[in-house]
């Protein structure tokens, strides 16, 4: 297993954790994890890359070893601003290779259009956006959010790291026990009253008060100039849950000027866990010069 180091940046009032697998500066990529995930989740993918790759992966605010925000909501503008300042710390003077999974892919896709000059190449792993919303949904969304604020947010406790690993395997039948045990140790932490809880601010579980505006997201995507590798999983349970059919996905992909699409077989939404070798090869080939 390739070893990483932990870097900590004071950033926008938070102590931000960034995991770093050292390599050559000329072969650098930044990996962005998804919702209810952590940077260590990319370990299996990094292990499949050639040793020369220089890889950074932050824990988003409220996840892993990064501070919690202290707010009742986590929303895209904060993630985008965090990413902007993280890149200033890692590679301020030249465009970066950016890879995002799920939430991380959505943040990176927005950023690629907001700051197109900062991105050399972008790999989107199952970051296909959220279901479209309508303005008339806003009153009920605000009301639901305020009702959820009345109840203290808590994460489910597990009896042990082994019990958390059991849950991860129930959620993903493709996940090996060895990988589940590794993830449990990084996703979980000892709870004050005993047992194990996820390394996550419970506020992430609250409904977001703000509606997701697909038209706004696509307006950002359309300004992206970097080549894009759009990677879908053949058995994406998240895409199915969101009822995003091929027509909807094709419309979203078409917003990007320079896009190549690939589907990874025998993989679910957590495709970097299910098929890390295939995903690593796709990324390395896409980022290779020439």
Strands 53-58, 14-21: pairing is antiparallel
- Encode burial over 238-268: b for 16+ CB neighbours within 10 A, e otherwise: bbeeeebeeebbeebbebbeebeeeebeebb
pLDDT tens profile 6-52: 999 999 999 999 999 999 999 999 999 999 999 999 999 999 999 99
In the chain, where the domains are located: 5-136+212-287
pLDDT tens profile 66-82: 999 998 889 999 999 99
Rounded distance between C-alpha atoms, residue 94 and residue 81, angstroms: 18
Neighbours of 26 (CB within 10 A): 8
Helix (H) and strand (E) counts in the chain: 11, 10
Which alpha helices (DSSP H) does the chain contain, by range? Answer: 43-48, 76-90, 103-114, 138-149, 161-171, 177-187, 214-221, 237-241, 246-253, 271-274, 276-287
Neighbours of 150 (CB within 10 A): 6
- Encode burial over 5-24: b for 16+ CB neighbours within 10 A, e otherwise: eeeebebeebebbbbbbebe
List Cβ neighbours of 255 (8 Å cut-off, separation of 6 or more): 218, 221, 222
Mean pLDDT of 240-248: 91
What is the model's pLDDT at position 29? Answer: 98
Mean pLDDT of 49-70: 97
What is the model's pLDDT at position 193? Answer: 84
Q: CA dist 4 to 8, 15, 20, 45, 272, Å? A: 13, 18, 5, 13, 18
- Class for the domain spanning 5-136+212-287: alpha beta
**CA-based nearest residue to 263, from 223, 233, 239, 241:** 233
DSSP for residue 202 = G
Whether 89 has a pLDDT exceeding 90, the answer reads yes
Q: Mean pLDDT over all residues of the chain?
A: 96
For the question of whether the overall pTM of this predicted structure is more than 0.95, the answer is: yes
Burial of 77 (0-12, 13-18, 19+ CB in 10 A): exposed
């Amino acid at each position: 297993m390739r070893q990483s180091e932990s870097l900590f940046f004071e950033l926008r009032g938070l102590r931000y954790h960034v995991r770093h697998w050292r390599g050559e500066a000329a072969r650098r990529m930044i990996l962005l994890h998804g919702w209810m995930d952590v940077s260590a989740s990319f370990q299996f993918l990094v292990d499949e890359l050639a040793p020369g790759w220089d890889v950074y992966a932050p824990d988003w605010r409220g996840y892993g070893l990064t501070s919690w925000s202290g707010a009742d909501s986590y929303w895209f503008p904060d993630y985008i601003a965090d990413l902007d300042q993280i890149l200033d710390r890692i590679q301020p003077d030249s465009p970066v290779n950016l890879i995002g999974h799920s939430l991380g892919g959505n943040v990176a896709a927005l950023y690629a259009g907001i700051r197109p000059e900062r991105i050399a190449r972008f790999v989107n792993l199952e970051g296909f956006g959220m279901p479209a919303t309508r303005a008339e949904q806003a009153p009920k969304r605000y009301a639901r959010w305020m009702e959820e604020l009345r109840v203290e947010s808590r994460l489910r406790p597990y009896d042990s790291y082994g019990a958390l690993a059991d849950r991860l395997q129930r959620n993903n039948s493709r996940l090996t026990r060895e990988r589940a045990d590794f993830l449990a140790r990084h996703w979980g932490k000892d709870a004050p009253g005993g047992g194990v809880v996820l390394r996550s601010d419970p506020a992430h579980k609250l409904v977001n008060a703000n509606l997701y505006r697909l038209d706004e997201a696509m307006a950002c995507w359309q300004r992206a100039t970097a080549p894009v590798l759009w990677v879908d999983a053949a058995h994406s349970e998240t895409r199915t849950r969101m009822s995003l059919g091929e027509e909807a996905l094709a419309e979203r992909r078409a917003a990007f000027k320079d896009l190549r699409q690939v589907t990874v077989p025998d993989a679910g939404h957590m495709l970097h866990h299910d098929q890390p070798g295939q995903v690593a090869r796709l990324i390395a080939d896409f980022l290779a010069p020439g």
